[in-house]
Chains A and B, each alone.
Chain A
Amino acid sequence: MTATGELTYRRIHRAPPELLFDCMTTPEHLTRFWGPTGTTTPLDGIVVDLRPGGAFETTMVNDADGSTYTMRAVYAEVRRPDRLVWVEADVEGGMRTTVTFTDLHDGRTEVVTHQTNVPAAYLSAAAQAGFATSLDRFEAYVAGLTAERG
């Protein structure tokens, strides 16, 4: 039984992999889209040292009350334009985020974000239940059930 969880998020964008890789690794791009809804990520709060072992930090500012949260990660793999891996060591056991960029050769790129060891704060319910299998298979399963029901 492990207390880890996994999340995968897939998205297709109308852009070449090089541009998407740059968007994910350039402060001037990141400041435009990084922060979760209701927060902003100011340019001076972004650190990108784009090399294995280099820092990747983003400070997100809550629009409502000005409170801040800083994500501190270290790049583990930097392979433009295919693959980007960073690890958040602050998270117990280190949460690893892998982003892959796949050229679909029609002007579009599939971006797959895979997170392992998603922390207990995210997955408390799942972790407590010892639910260590892929959350995505579960999600698809639940979606299937809800569809059948409706």
Chain B
Amino acid sequence: MTVVDDGLSLVFAALADPTRRAILERLAAGSATVGELAEPFAMSQQAVSKHLKVLEQARLISRTRAGQARPCVLEPTNLDAATDWINRHRRVWADRHDRLDAHLAALRAEQRDGGAEETSAP
């Protein structure tokens, strides 16, 4: 297991929780303090802090040192890594269907050539 994969495990684990996903969505709109993040949830700041810690360990967010409030910032790099990983596994089917498309086009061309002789192929 490579370091990269381990990082990805943390990302998937962090994203498996709906509250943490909601926090990330909020942070996608801009940085926010723990207090601001706790507001929309019926949750104590302490509970939100626990979620933030998981997100921080997955390096999906970072906490700035600016002042006492220490606002949280979204870290997109690891999110991109998760997207890349999913895309790699979908590509097998995507490529297969690309080739199927090409094959279907070839079949249509054959049918035109063989079936309707007065219609010239484009």
Q: Which residue numbers of A lie inside 8 Å of B, CB to CB?
A: 7, 9, 11, 13-15, 19-20, 23, 29, 32-34, 36-37, 111, 113, 118, 122-126, 128-131, 133, 135, 138-139, 141-146, 148-149
Contacts and interface: CB of A to CB of B under 8 A. Distances in A.
A47 to B, nearest CB: 18
Contacts of B83: 139, 142-143, 146
A53 B80 CA distance: 41
Q: Give the interface SS of chain A, mostly helix, strand, loop or mixed.
A: helix
Given A15-B104, A36-B95, A142-B83, 9 more contacts: A9-B93, A13-B104, A23-B104, A113-B93, A125-B11, A129-B10, A133-B16, A146-B76, A149-B74
B104 A36 contact: no
A138 B12 CA distance: 9
B34 interface: no
Given A9-B97, A34-B96, A146-B76, A138 B15 contact: yes
Best-surrounded residue of B16, B74, B89, B100 (most CB of chain A within 10 A): B100
21 contacts: A7-B89, A9-B97, A11-B93, A11-B94, A13-B100, A20-B100, A29-B103, A32-B103, A34-B99, A37-B91, A111-B97, A118-B89, A124-B1, A125-B8, A125-B9, A129-B9, A130-B16, A139-B86, A141-B21, A142-B79, A149-B76
B69 interface: no
A37 B95 contact: yes
Contacts of A11: 93-94, 97
Contact of B102 (A19, A33, A139): A33
B12 A145 contact: no
B13 A131 contact: yes
Interface residues of B, number: 40
Interface in B11-33: 11-13, 15-16, 21, 24-25, 28-29
Please list the 9 inter-chain residue pairs (A to B) with the smallest Cβ-Cβ separation, ordered nearest first.
A33-B99, A129-B12, A129-B13, A9-B93, A125-B8, A148-B28, A11-B97, A131-B12, A32-B103
B101 interface: yes
B90 A7 contact: yes
A143 B90 CA distance: 14
Contact of A128 (B9, B79, B94, B107): B9
Interface in B74-120: 74, 76, 79-80, 82-83, 85-86, 89-97, 99-104, 106-107
B111 to A, nearest CB: 10
Nearest to B104: A15
B36 interface: no
